[in-house]
């Protein structure tokens, strides 16, 4: 893929009212999946379940086990929600694809995770632009079984509704991107992955923890909110937390003060930048990105 211009969240920004979210969710239609569609899930699951071993954080692997996922069929959201609700109060609701930011935030604030109910085609096994059921369910749902991450996701949703009032949704989308989608965590046994965008991608799962191409930088809330990201290829920087407690405590604080600070301080970082104040785990060579820009 050619490296596209760096852009912010390309998702449609909702102008609806938060209570609009019911119109975006519907029935998963589990009984309508074809055997070919279940077959795509089975292939993706069997491949990725091996690759995440030793690379995903333990909380994610515990979530995979807790959900008792049937490896051969696309999960049934209603069944999974029964397990999730009992553990952390979360449920999985079906959407047809990306929804506007406002209803998305409202759903998270109510502990409802919107998961795509469609699955990629056999010729899209490695990458798909829109979040399909494999990205959403295999990537995002297991960590919702972890109490601290479950609290973080609710706090993120509430923060999003506040960001809408401050006009700082772009900054909040970056926080989502560099944590929920592409976050790393330094654990006792090494650098591990918790970001769903990485965990649902065979190539990026290896790249994110093993390649010397990307930067790996200690998580800092303001720094992340000022950092652009790319949506078309592997990330050029990953941000590293030291625990989910850290992520939750940094994020649960009232954002209003930070939003005002960001409006004053217009600093913006490119995906490949390293700032003087960064706590650098890896200064990447960026050879992967350079090889793609040729
Ligand atoms: N909609 N279905 C869906 N899934 C997402 O992950 C999603 C979305 N809409 C907006 C969005 N993500 C991002 O802009 C968040 O950063 C808000
Ligand atoms: Fe996602």
10 assigned to some structural domain: no
| pLDDT > 70 in the chain, percent | 93
How many angstroms separate the CA atoms of 115 and 96, rounded? 8
The pLDDT tens digits of the residues spanning 76-109 come to: 999 999 999 999 999 999 999 999 999 999 999 9
Domain that holds residue 48: 18-293
Burial of 90 (0-12, 13-18, 19+ CB in 10 A): buried
Taking all residues of the chain, what is their mean pLDDT, rounded to a whole number? 91
Question: Number of structural domains, the chain?
Answer: 1
To 5 degrees, how large is the angle CA 90–CA 34–CA 113? 15
| 6 lies in some domain | no
Examine residue 274 and state whether it is found in any structural domain, yes or no.
Answer: yes
User: Model confidence over 13-40: pLDDT tens digits?
Assistant: 445 565 678 899 999 999 999 999 999 9
Query: Measured from the CB, is residue 131 less than 6 Å from ligand 1?
Result: yes
Report the nearest atom of ligand 1 relative to the CA of 172: 16
In a domain, 213, yes or no: yes
Catalytic option among 91, 154, 181, 250:
181
30 Cα: distance to centroid of ligand 1 (angstroms)? 22
For ligand 1, atom 3: residue with the closest CA: 98
229 located within any domain: yes
Tell me, what's the pLDDT at 18? 54
What CATH number is given to the structural domain containing 243?
1.10.800.10
Q: For residue 221, tell me if it sits in a domain.
A: yes
Q: Is the CB of 11 under 6 A from ligand 1?
A: yes
Asked whether residue 254 is domain-assigned, the answer is yes
**pTM score > 0.85 for this model?**
yes
Residue 135: active-site member: yes
Asked if residues 20 and 101 have their Cβ atoms less than 8 Å apart, the reply is no
């Amino acid at each position: 893929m050619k490296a596209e211009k760096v852009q912010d969240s390309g998702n449609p920004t909702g102008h609806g009212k938060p209570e609009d979210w019911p119109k975006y969710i519907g029935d998963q239609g589990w009984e309508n999946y074809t055997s070919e569609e279940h077959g795509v899930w089975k292939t993706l699951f069997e491949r990725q379940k091996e690759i995440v071993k030793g690379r995903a954080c333990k909380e994610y692997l515990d979530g995979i086990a807790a959900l008792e996922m049937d490896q051969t069929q696309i999960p049934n959201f209603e069944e999974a929600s029964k397990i999730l609700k009992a553990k952390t109060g979360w449920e999985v609701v079906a959407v047809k694809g990306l929804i506007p930011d406002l209803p998305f935030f409202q759903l998270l604030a109510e502990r409802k995770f919107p998961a795509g109910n469609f699955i990629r085609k056999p010729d899209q096994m490695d990458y798909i632009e829109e979040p399909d059921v494999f990205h959403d369910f295999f990537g995002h749902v297991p960590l919702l079984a972890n109490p601290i991450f479950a609290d973080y996701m609710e706090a993120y949703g509430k923060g999003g509704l506040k960001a809408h009032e401050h006009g700082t949704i772009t900054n909040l989308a970056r926080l989502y991107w560099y944590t929920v989608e592409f976050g790393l965590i330094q654990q006792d046994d090494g650098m591990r992955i918790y970001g769903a965008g990485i965990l649902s991608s065979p190539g990026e799962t290896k790249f994110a923890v093993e390649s010397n191409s990307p930067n790996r930088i200690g998580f800092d809330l303001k720094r992340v909110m000022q950092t652009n990201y790319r949506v078309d290829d592997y990330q050029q920087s990953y941000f590293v937390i030291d625990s989910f407690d850290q992520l939750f405590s940094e994020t649960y604080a009232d954002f209003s003060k930070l939003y005002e600070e960001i409006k004053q301080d217009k600093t913006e970082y490119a995906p490949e930048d390293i700032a003087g104040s960064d706590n650098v785990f890896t200064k990447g060579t960026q050879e992967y990105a350079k090889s793609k820009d040729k």
